[in-house]
Structure 1
């Protein structure tokens, strides 16, 4: 069955379930959209746990509004409309969900609430996912956070999902002129935040890591396991951007400052000199999971996850996350 026919059948089945108050059938129909709606909420919010909560809120709203769906638009469009407005309502109540100025002059802003997105929770069917690698990478998600909420919604719906302007206007209760104006301003901000990146996110994009990326991740892990400071430093671009989240004030923008900070924090000294690493991916990006064993402990314990953006064989951005409080990453607690 082709996608268009499936969407039509979903809409008809949804209406039938709504009219009969068949909660089980309703859940079966809407559940197949969960993963893509959660990705959509994540782009809006940059936080995996918030995205989970808002996806659930979306389904609660969908159930309460079920009789208002008449099939004039596809069920998917209607669900995205509800999810987008749920995110906007959330952002309107949370003053802590905006980027804050970095302590380092000239370093821009930090997004303390940023969380990695586990690849295993992405939609399984690439035709259904509306996920291009560039639009799920951390730099993109962070750049989106610098847009005001409604401008953010316009940008995601128009330039990521490819909705026409009248459809976006209807979803957000705006005029087409307002949508066009908001999109123009959003694109300017995104170009400023993502210099040198391609800006046509609706064209096909690879999901696979390159051999070069895999090689750099392996070298990064080997350097930790060997306590090889020179080898680790050689992997970094001089203009490395490093942050350790959710800790504020950790952002640095040179490799030297990053390495100095790691050394002052005890890297490769007693208690931080026995590592095991596992390669993985999050946000469709290469990453290394670090496990640390301290003296007198028999096991290596989950420590953090380092997400890497690699340019020309060297690490240009390194975002570290405390992995111990994120069971949804699906990482074993010990090795």
Structure 2
């Protein structure tokens, strides 16, 4: 992965006015970096809601400190330093792990998982509409592809396995392309410490994301992707477990953050769908959207007694070649408005 290029040189006149207390001048200085800073916080925290909170803290701290900004580093680097340290403070404080989210209580007993994580995965989906604000500014399809790869659910889930400081170092060095000396200054440490942290982080990611030879992911909104997504949508809405299973890779995963239970392989996933998701003839209506550079759906369940469809979370597909390599289900309905999706629908 390569770093996102700076949005441009800082306007000296605007900087001088901002130092003098001109709020509009400050806004013009920081606005080009707002979205990429939010995505940066999201990569480290795994939550778009927490990322927005930390972004607001970052901008407030920058406004209060702009008078002391001496320009030894670029404004972008200075803002990333503030944002990164605010993220690390949030992780240390445990602000992202409220007790009410510690466990998801299912309506019926869950089948025995293929794997059980030691702790919940504090990961939320990120709307593609926000990613596109960054990707569309970058030169060439390769740079835009790299931005989307750096917010893929697989990459973010692997980041969650890293200690907070290693997570920050890897994002700053390998995703954003900052030099070791710049990262050391941001984190008030030495270049050698940055190098060692990066080495350890890369080793963990190599174990968590070993499948470099996997079939390529179809391009977003390509005919290949639409064909797979449409077939999956038809199968799930019809409750056709066999058709869904036939679309899965042999090593496909079903995960449900923050639930620490994971199911791997067509048999385990098919059993889960038949005994939990589609149990008793339950039927869904799927509304297409996109999350983390991947096709996704808002899920709605029919209410037999009314014409309403009630929200039932967000489902994200990870594709590899002509198959589905992962199904990631987010049960939190409060995420839906970020994707422009309602809490309920009239029957369709």
TM-score band w.r.t. shorter chain: 0.7 to 0.9
Equivalences for residues 160-175 of structure 1 within 5 A:
160-175=175-190
Report the Cα offset of residue 150 of structure 1.
Answer: 1.2
CA RMSD of aligned residues (A): 2.8
> Which of residues 103, 113, 124 is equivalent to 2:122?
113
Match of 2:318 in 1: 309
Match of 1:215 in 2: 227
Cα-to-partner distance string for 1:109-152 (whole Å, 9 max, x where unaligned) = 56432100011122524345986221110010111111111111
Match of 2:21 in 1: 21
Specify which structure has the bigger relative contact order, considering alpha-carbon pairs within 8 angstroms and separated by 6 or more residues: 2
Whole-angstrom CA distance in 2 between matches of 1:242 and 1:105:
10
Residues 1:255 and 2:266 aligned together = yes
Whole-angstrom CA distance in 2 between matches of 1:269 and 1:5:
54
- Runs of 4+, deviation exceeding 6 Å: 3-6
Report the Cα offset of residue 51 of structure 1.
Answer: 0.5
Match of 2:166 in 1: 151
> Which of residues 314, 320, 329 is equivalent to 1:320?
329
Cα-to-partner distance string for 1:14-70 (whole Å, 9 max, x where unaligned) = 522332201232123223321110000000011111111111110111112111212
Match of 2:9 in 1: 8
> Which of residues 206, 214, 234 is equivalent to 1:191?
206
CA contact (8 A) 2:218 2:225 kept: no
Structure 1 stretches lacking a partner, 5+ long: 199-204
SS at match of 1:132: helix
Taking structure 1 as the reference length, the TM-score comes to 0.86
Whole-angstrom CA distance in 1 between matches of 2:333 and 2:5:
43
> Which of residues 112, 116, 134 is equivalent to 2:149?
134
CA contact (8 A) 1:217 1:288 kept: no
Whole-angstrom CA distance in 2 between matches of 1:146 and 1:183:
14
Cα-to-partner distance string for 1:78-104 (whole Å, 9 max, x where unaligned) = 11111001101111111866xx9xx95
Structure 2 stretches lacking a partner, 5+ long: 103-111
CA contact (8 A) 2:170 2:201 kept: yes
SS at match of 1:280: strand
Taking structure 2 as the reference length, the TM-score comes to 0.83
CA contact (8 A) 1:309 1:316 kept: yes
Report the Cα offset of residue 9 of structure 1.
Answer: 3.4
